[in-house]
Structure 1
Amino acid sequence: MTTTIARFAHLQIPLQDVLNATNNFHHDNIIGRGGLGHVYKGQLQRSGELITISALRLDGKHGGGVVEFWTEVSMLSDLKHPNIVSIVGFCDDKHEKIIVTTYEAKNGSLKEHLSNPNLTWTQRLKICVGVARALSYLHYDQRRGYGVIHLNVNSSTILLDENWEPKLSGFKVSIKQSLNRMDQVVLSEPIGTIGYVDPEIGKSKGVTCKSDVYAFGVVLFEILCGRRAYIRNDANRLLAPLVMQHYENETLHDIVHPDLRNQISMGALRRYSETAHFCLKEDKIQRPSMLTLIDELQKTLEKALKFQQRREYFVRPSLLFFFFFYVNYFPWF
């Protein structure tokens, strides 16, 4: 029998509409594969408007994922932020469970672009600021009446739209918590993706909003180093201990993405790496809040923009000098 929770009834979408939108879940429309199932791109009619959607189709073969399905529907139905994916609706019909969101990933996920030489330092910093704003909204927004611990922050759940604006997704294991208890431990098994899991969980037997801060710190170093948090067959499989070692030995510059080295001033690198380093502190009390992180990253971004402007300023006059030099002294050139 179809399960429908009354307060989400307005979000329900008939199965036939989803089938029409995705051409019966045609394999050509698959745009992602995750732990819960495949994600399909499609065109859906809603309120007389044709919109582009992503449809996460729960893989029912293994019989799991129902709790995660309703968790994601519940979370997204309450969350409205420019840096968080927007829910269109869901389908819970004929043994199918499908979550439909607006299609945000026109540039894929951050994971696909970590080593992209064309993704500039300032673009990367803007992505960092956007994700920090999304997490700050989850942790502290008073209008919602409760906080959210995401617990799945990683470079795969950060989607990038056509303007490279980040959209946080992946709320399947998120936890609601009273706003005045966000720093207090919620009993939980270690949750998350390898390479991003808060090491404090094992000691405290639970999670706090600082577990998101730890995962975000890993993402900050992924962005700086241009590599993933976990590489299965690599000698340095885990990025977090590697960057902590280089940070403490003052050799972090050695593992910065080669295409970024000339784009980053030493001051900006120092400020950014110090911020990311504090996120990875084993003692969660020493980790900054997301509000502090927004402020620090915004200042780093401002410095990066000024550095970029200075570089452009010095390059342009030198080019003009050579142009006029050749015109005046070698008119036949």
Structure 2
Amino acid sequence: MTTTIPKFAHLLIPLEDVVKATDNFHQDNIIGRGGLGHVYKGQLQRSGELISISALRLNRKHRQGVVEFWTEVSMLSDLKHPNIVSIVGFCDDKHEKIIVTTYEAKNGSLRKHLNNPNLTWTQRLKICVGVARALSYLHYDDGRGYGVIHLNVNSSTILLDENWEPKLSGFKVSIKQSLNRMDQVILSEPIGTIGYVDPEIEKTKGVTHKSDIYAFGVVLFEILCGRRAYEANRHLALLAKYHFENKTLSDIILPDLKNQMSGYQISLGSLRKYSETAYSCLNEERAHRPHMLDIVNELEKVTEKALNFQPRPENFVRLFLVIFFFCLLTLLYFTSVYSKEYH
């Protein structure tokens, strides 16, 4: 029996199409396991085109997640942004509830790559900027007439496509709010993933769009430090704030990033601006946290400088000396060969 809301009827996908696309939900196609259910990859025929999809299948055993299901469908049906996952449709038939989006996670989630030595500093910065732009769109876009508080920003809901472009997902607990009331508290229980939850929720008994800012600040430090938000009973937010305030942040930066930075003329001012931005997001008082528009602006400046990194002058000297001695040894070798042939 279907309970489909009429306004979303155009997004309905027959159950048999999803079953076929995922090879009857074959376990080899599982790409994620979450609280609501498993996520499957597949190939779906739509409008004569075969597209790659992700299908979140609600766990039927617990019969939970119906509210979250409709929340995500409602949110994604209105959102169009290059750094947000795109909905293809959904299935609501025969006790099955499935949300189908385009398959954006060719490189998995950001969480899987936090300490990846091959993920460069510039790639990390581009991910930061992409997520910041997505959140700015959610909070301020005039085209919708309302803002969206995501409330589930974390390194697992940030997916990475084949070009390492971020795609924000996980809208199951998101809230719509009038654009002129984004700073007003919406009464709510603590929402989100441990390590990212706005500490002000307990004091104010609710959330605002600044709750997303806090969670994003945690993500910024995850990207810089290559550490997860909560691990071994330790909150990265508290650790990062301690080291920032004591000017020892370099002690917890991902070693591979420190090595990259030591090999290039990276402006200490740029790194300081990045860490200052991340730190400001973690302010205990929401009123003192920056707005996403300002965060986007700061991160874009840092990224622009990062893209113009040049090798340090001393490295030019080293390179020159290496080339010089190589040429000298080559010359001596051929001189020796020439001498033997003619004497």
The alignment's TM-score, normalised by the length of structure 2, stands at 0.92
Deviations 1:9-49 (A, max 9, x none): 11000000000000111111100001110000001000000
Quick check: 1:215 aligned with 2:200? no
TM-superposed deviation, 1:316: 5.6
With over 3 angstroms needed to count, the CA separation of the structure-2 counterparts of 1:301 and 1:47, relative to structure 1, is same
CA distance in 1, matches of 2:89, 2:17: 11
Give the alignment partner of residue 236 of structure 2, picking from 221, 225, 239: 239
TM-superposed deviation, 1:271: 1.2
TM-superposed deviation, 1:299: 1.1
CA distance in 2, matches of 1:308, 1:112: 29
Question: Residue in 2 aligned with 1:139?
Answer: 139
Identity of aligned residues (%): 77
Quick check: 1:250 aligned with 2:253? no
Give the alignment partner of residue 274 of structure 1, picking from 249, 273, 276: 276
CA distance in 1, matches of 2:61, 2:329: 72
Look up the equivalent residue of 2:146 and give its one-letter code: Y
Give the alignment partner of residue 288 of structure 2, picking from 286, 305, 315: 286
Output aligned runs, 1:176-187, within 5 Å.
176-187=176-187
Output aligned runs, 1:169-208, within 5 Å.
169-208=169-208
* Number of equivalenced pairs: 330
With over 3 angstroms needed to count, the CA separation of the structure-2 counterparts of 1:19 and 1:241, relative to structure 1, is same
Question: Residue in 1 aligned with 2:341?
Answer: none
Structure 2 gap segments, 5+ residues each? 338-343
Question: Residue in 2 aligned with 1:298?
Answer: 300
Quick check: 1:2 aligned with 2:21? no
TM-superposed deviation, 1:73: 0.2
CA distance in 2, matches of 1:36, 1:287: 32
Deviations 1:106-165 (A, max 9, x none): 000000000100001110000000000000000001111110000000000000000000
The alignment partner of 2:9 has SS state of helix
Structure 1 gap segments, 5+ residues each? none
The alignment partner of 1:143 has SS state of coil
| Conserved? CA contact 1:151–1:174, under 8 Å | yes
CA distance in 2, matches of 1:209, 1:155: 18
TM-superposed deviation, 1:323: 3.8
CA distance in 2, matches of 1:146, 1:187: 18
TM-superposed deviation, 1:322: 4.1
Question: Residue in 2 aligned with 1:259?
Answer: 256
Look up the equivalent residue of 2:80 and give its one-letter code: K
CA distance in 2, matches of 1:29, 1:312: 50
TM-superposed deviation, 1:186: 1.0
TM-superposed deviation, 1:278: 0.1
CA distance in 1, matches of 2:125, 2:313: 18
TM-superposed deviation, 1:320: 3.8
The alignment partner of 2:230 has SS state of coil
Output aligned runs, 1:124-135, within 5 Å.
124-135=124-135
TM-superposed deviation, 1:263: 2.4
Question: Residue in 2 aligned with 1:155?
Answer: 155
TM-superposed deviation, 1:308: 4.4
The alignment partner of 1:61 has SS state of coil
CA distance in 1, matches of 2:137, 2:325: 51
Quick check: 1:324 aligned with 2:330? no
CA distance in 2, matches of 1:322, 1:202: 65
Question: Residue in 1 aligned with 2:61?
Answer: 61
Output aligned runs, 1:72-151, within 5 Å.
72-151=72-151
CA distance in 2, matches of 1:328, 1:211: 66
The alignment partner of 1:101 has SS state of strand
TM-superposed deviation, 1:181: 0.9
Deviations 1:231-267 (A, max 9, x none): 1xx2x52111111111111111000000000323332
CA distance in 2, matches of 1:127, 1:192: 21
| Conserved? CA contact 1:37–1:59, under 8 Å | yes
Give the alignment partner of residue 307 of structure 1, picking from 303, 309, 324: 309
TM-superposed deviation, 1:221: 0.3
CA distance in 2, matches of 1:330, 1:177: 76
| Conserved? CA contact 1:263–1:308, under 8 Å | no
TM-superposed deviation, 1:268: 2.4
Look up the equivalent residue of 1:180 and give its one-letter code: N
The alignment partner of 1:246 has SS state of helix
The alignment's TM-score, normalised by the length of structure 1, stands at 0.95
Question: Residue in 1 aligned with 2:340?
Answer: none
TM-superposed deviation, 1:309: 5.6
TM-superposed deviation, 1:54: 0.3
The alignment partner of 2:234 has SS state of coil
Quick check: 1:166 aligned with 2:163? no
Runs of 4+ in structure 1 over 6 Å off: none
TM-superposed deviation, 1:2: 0.8
CA distance in 2, matches of 1:47, 1:316: 56
